[in-house]
Amino acid sequence: MKIIIAFALIVQLDGDPEERVASHWWRLQHCLADARLLSRREENYVPIAAHCKPVWVKPNEVEIRGYESKVGVDSATK
């Protein structure tokens, strides 16, 4: 079973001590773009802290946005 490094978008609501994984991303730039968007939204009722961190994941068990796993081809090396 293959394990790869992806970037987890971590979201934490103000007053909630628990961080939650909102999504996983193949590219750090895309993860950071979503984190910035969530942190800046004016219509949020409570402040949101959002950041990205690298995590080990199994691509067959977790949806990784921007990552395509093809049979017989390791797309992570492209």
> 19-60: per-residue pLDDT in tens?
999 999 999 999 999 999 888 867 656 778 899 999 999 999
What are the beta bridge partners of residue 10?
Answer: 21, 51
What percent helix, strand, coil does the chain show, rounded to 5? 20, 40, 40
Domain boundaries of the chain, sorted by first residue: 4-65
Is residue 71 exposed (0-12), middle (13-18) or buried (19+ Cβ within 10 Å)? exposed
The pTM assigned to this predicted structure is: 0.76
Average pLDDT score over residue span 6-27 = 92
